[in-house]
Structure 1
Amino acid sequence: MKLTIHGAARQVTGSMHLLEVGQYKILIDCGLDYEKDRSVQSNENFPFNPGDIDVVVLTHAHIDHSGNLPTLLRLGFNGQILCTPPTADLTELLLFDSVSIFMRKAQTKGRYGKAKGKFNTNSQPLYLQKHVMDTVERFVTIGFNRPFKVNGDIELTFIPVGHLLGAAAAVFKINDHGVEKSIAFTGDIGRKNYPVLNDPEALPPVDYLVSESTYGGRFHSKGKSVEETLVEVIEKCCIKEQGRMIIPAFSIGRTQSLVFALNKIFSSGLLPPVKVFVDSPMASIATGVFRNYHNLVNQEAQDFYKNSGDEFEFDNLTYVENLKDSRQVSNYFEPCIIISSAGMLEGGRIQDHLFYNIQNYYCTILFIGYCAKGTLGHRLLRGDSIVHIKDRDLAVYATIKQTDVLSAHGDHEDLMNTVKQQDKSSLKSVFLVHGETESMQALADSLDFEGYKTIIPEKGVSYEI
């Protein structure tokens, strides 16, 4: 059996791991890599023949895990994609959204190239809607904690890990030429007591563990709840300063958790009413998916629904559907909260809101999630005084804030606890992926101290296991 880490090796995005059992090849996740100034087109340079992959296992819907699936099919993959039912529905939304982003960027680059009298080789989209439709047809859904026979020698079980509706660790039991082996891929690990989502479940004992490490060496803030943190920031920005707050949030997952938290704040009278705009058509559709899988949200959300009604609806909340209404939000001069995507600011309607508000002294931009290096969100968080938005360089006068109370990733302690559920005498190796180098090293140091054997793999290096 051989494991090769082809993506998210010593970086966060682009998760893609190849597990070979004899001649049978399993690809775990196939995400877009958009770090280190990589062009979109560089994602089609697979280090293997896509036609040789027998099956794909998808841990969850986020685009850094799912976003390159249509490229894989476009270049020859012809197998099934195994995932949970919510992951299939949410991935479909995200992939179609990716096509829209590709098309907008291609049109922009195409116009620029034509104006300069040059041919722009990067103007072609990575994939089109028909490729996404082909991808969706490949989904085969499996419920949580239901062992599934991939073939005669390989059994797959999805274990809930929080983080996002439908997110799972992929646990394999394998008969490798008569030897029983087991390996788990954590995907992204959630945190306890997160709005809407259930806590991660413990993984069964395995021989090998491939673990994410996004928050290695970092600890989430303690002491204040999600609601307390939001009340403090909203009260200052929207009540005392009579300003507006812009919250970049991923349409799928983060927005639903944020809306539920705001619902609890305003319905309980912790703050006077403030207008809230959710400016993301995809967020509206994704919220419908959350409603469809209401049996998979946490007990708090289910109880709220029974006692108070829809957790994703409340007075003064407006879901903005069309572009015309989105533009009108900029002309709303009363204090308000604007929730828009994408969370790292790399596309979507959020860029319009930034364009018109980045130089507004009475605007606060509140980041509630991780921003990968190279993204506009990362540049704002590191304190750049001038940023490039929609073909213009703009000075940053708005207040930039960040909180981790709505981060859907487990922190260092959560990651350690995930590994420490395993018996160190039987767990042969922990492979650390999906993290910046310093985060991986911090987690590796702690695990080594506890007596676990850790490996920080380089991209493309294979391991016989």
Structure 2
Amino acid sequence: MRITFHGATRQVTGSAHLLEIGSSRILLDCGLFDSDRIDPASQNRQLAFDPQTLDAVVVSHAHNDHIGRLPFLVKQGYKGSIYVTPATGDITSIMLRDSARIQREDVRQAHIRQPHIAAPDPLFEQFDVEWMVERLERVPYSEPREIAPGIILTYHDAGHVLGSAIVQIDYQEEGRPRRFVFTGDLGRRKTGLLPDPTIVKDVDVLVSESTYGDKELEPYDRLMKQLHAIVARAIRLQGKIIIPAFSLGRTQRMVYCLQELFATTKLRPIPVYVDSPLASRLTEVHRDYPDAYTPEARALMDKDPLYFGSKYVEYCQSFDDSRRLNYQRGPLIIISSSGMCEAGRIRHHLRHIVSEPDNAVVIVSYQAENTLGRKLSEGVERVQILDQWYDLNAAVYVLDGFSGHADRNDLAWWYEQTGGGIEHGFIVHGEPPSMEALVPVMQPFVKNPVHIPDLHESFEV
């Protein structure tokens, strides 16, 4: 087998890995890089392989850094199946339709700013998304599926977000069975809502994510105590809590955690507003898959008439509803996209609260370098939001243990559970310090030296 890494190399975004097994060519993920989608020179517009030569595309989960270029792949000529879990298929359709809409708006704004310059084309249009949706083939967990002659795909629950999967590919090489495993994004253990990542044994080749490979995150019970203290402070000071959260996964997790907090402690429930139309649509998908959650989570959510909803949780749809929150008195909690504070409604909420010391910002997910979210988490004195500067007087709490990504200890546990004896190991999807810190964690379970591949680097394994 030959594997070539076309993304998520020494960075978090752009997941895309090409497997060549005999005459078959299989692409694992086709995600967005962290660059402007409508820029003609964007890395997102460059495919280092011919889409028409691919036999199959296998998707690990529905975050944009794993699915964001799928419509572009179809636009460039891919005509085969795109394999997903059932929940990932539902979420992908919503996420990429929203992405096409945003790109079209970005093009319109670019034309307004520079009317004398021809507006660039979007990376893809709505009809490209519809063609892509037609190619989705849903594969449930633990049900082997032949995706090319003699090549068997099996999905396992990764526990990262709804529908997320560890990708197992079995094949024969010179008469002996071989097993390739791509972790996708592994979830944390014992975090209440989703089950722990599934263990896979008898692995020959392993490609692993490394987002928090250099960190040991707080355990769930301690995170809940910290969240309890933050909410109690807001009640005491009549303040507002702003939680920037990705529309997929983190929003639903935080709603669940607040439901658990109000149900299991003496803390007085306060209004929780989810201010993201995309998150609202994705939450509807989450309600369609009750079997995806742990028995404990189901028991708690069954008490309310609607999963991820109750009398104190309100989903805002219109921008007028969103704007009214800025003039509503606390205590209250606003969960809004985007998770790194770079776009969406979160920015105007932050603009209204960051200068007041009674308010709080709670960072609950990974923040990429140079983003507003990273600056907030680093505790800078002043921040620029929507072209204006504001003093950062609000309290900022970094609870990145609520992330859906496994930390160093979770990854070490998962590697150990495989039983070791892995022939080749590769580390992707992380910033360089995280990748380098994870090498000695993985190495005891891998016979050959663990590699951190460069972009477009190939290996025969």
TM-score normalized by structure 2? 0.94
Asked if 1:159 corresponds to 2:160, the answer is no
Contact residue 304 and residue 310 of structure 2 kept, 8 A: no
Letter in 2 for 1:366: V
* 1:106 match: 107
Equivalents in 2 of 1:126, 1:374: separation in Å? 24
370, 375, 384: which one pairs with 1:374?
Answer: 370
Contact residue 183 and residue 207 of structure 1 kept, 8 A: yes
**1:90-169 counterparts in 2 under 5 A?**
90-114=91-115, 117=116, 119=117, 123-169=120-166
CA shift in 2, pair 1:102/1:148, >3 Å: same
Q: Deviations over 1:153-211 (max 9, x none)?
A: 10010011101111111101112354432100000000112232111110131110000
167, 171, 175: which one pairs with 1:174?
Answer: 171
* 1:462 match: 458
Q: Deviations over 1:229-281 (max 9, x none)?
A: 21111111x11221111001111211111111111222345312311111111
* 1:304 match: 300
Equivalents in 2 of 1:435, 1:76: separation in Å? 30
Equivalents in 1 of 2:51, 2:87: separation in Å? 25
Contact residue 301 and residue 311 of structure 1 kept, 8 A: no
1:151 deviates by 2.3
Equivalents in 1 of 2:215, 2:123: separation in Å? 34
Secondary structure of the residue aligned to 1:51 is: helix
Letter in 1 for 2:18: L
CA shift in 2, pair 1:279/1:78, >3 Å: same
CA shift in 2, pair 1:217/1:381, >3 Å: same
**1:43-442 counterparts in 2 under 5 A?**
43-114=44-115, 117=116, 119=117, 123-176=120-173, 178-222=175-219, 224-236=221-233, 238-307=234-303, 309-425=305-421, 427-442=422-437
**1:6-45 counterparts in 2 under 5 A?**
6-34=6-34, 41-45=42-46
1:375 deviates by 2.4
CA shift in 2, pair 1:363/1:109, >3 Å: farther
Letter in 2 for 1:362: D
| Percent of aligned pairs with the same amino acid | 36
Letter in 2 for 1:187: G
Structure 2 segments unaligned to the other structure (5+ residues)? none
Structure 1 segments unaligned to the other structure (5+ residues)? none
1:396 deviates by 3.0
Letter in 2 for 1:195: G
Contact residue 56 and residue 148 of structure 2 kept, 8 A: no
Equivalents in 2 of 1:442, 1:162: separation in Å? 23
Task: Name which of structure 1's ranges 171-180 and 211-220 shifts more when overlaid on structure 2.
Answer: 171-180
CA shift in 2, pair 1:202/1:129, >3 Å: same
Equivalents in 2 of 1:384, 1:307: separation in Å? 42
Equivalents in 2 of 1:311, 1:144: separation in Å? 22
Letter in 1 for 2:130: M
Contact residue 424 and residue 446 of structure 2 kept, 8 A: no
Letter in 2 for 1:125: P
1:60 deviates by 0.4
Letter in 1 for 2:400: D
Secondary structure of the residue aligned to 1:7 is: coil
427, 434, 443: which one pairs with 2:438?
Answer: 443
Letter in 2 for 1:413: N
Contact residue 213 and residue 440 of structure 1 kept, 8 A: yes
1:296 deviates by 1.5
Equivalents in 2 of 1:206, 1:168: separation in Å? 16
Q: Deviations over 1:435-456 (max 9, x none)?
A: 1111111110233356653111
CA shift in 2, pair 1:255/1:195, >3 Å: farther
Contact residue 37 and residue 122 of structure 2 kept, 8 A: no
Secondary structure of the residue aligned to 1:46 is: coil
Secondary structure of the residue aligned to 2:96 is: helix
CA root-mean-square deviation = 2.1
Equivalents in 1 of 2:136, 2:145: separation in Å? 14
Equivalents in 2 of 1:168, 1:283: separation in Å? 21
Task: Name which of structure 1's ranges 296-305 and 357-366 shifts more when overlaid on structure 2.
Answer: 357-366
CA shift in 2, pair 1:150/1:134, >3 Å: same
Contact residue 169 and residue 187 of structure 1 kept, 8 A: yes
Letter in 1 for 2:241: M
Equivalents in 2 of 1:182, 1:86: separation in Å? 25
TM-score normalized by structure 1? 0.93
Equivalents in 1 of 2:219, 2:256: separation in Å? 20
Secondary structure of the residue aligned to 2:459 is: strand
Letter in 2 for 1:161: A
Equivalents in 2 of 1:358, 1:164: separation in Å? 30
Task: Name which of structure 1's ranges 341-350 and 216-225 shifts more when overlaid on structure 2.
Answer: 216-225
CA shift in 2, pair 1:11/1:390, >3 Å: same
Q: Deviations over 1:4-39 (max 9, x none)?
A: 011000111111100011231100001101069995
Equivalents in 1 of 2:75, 2:192: separation in Å? 37
Letter in 1 for 2:141: F
CA shift in 2, pair 1:39/1:414, >3 Å: farther
1:319 deviates by 0.9
Equivalents in 2 of 1:389, 1:78: separation in Å? 42
Q: Deviations over 1:40-98 (max 9, x none)?
A: 83201111122222211000011111111111111111111001000011111211222
Equivalents in 2 of 1:382, 1:105: separation in Å? 29
Secondary structure of the residue aligned to 1:59 is: coil
Equivalents in 2 of 1:120, 1:357: separation in Å? 38
Aligned residues between the structures: 459
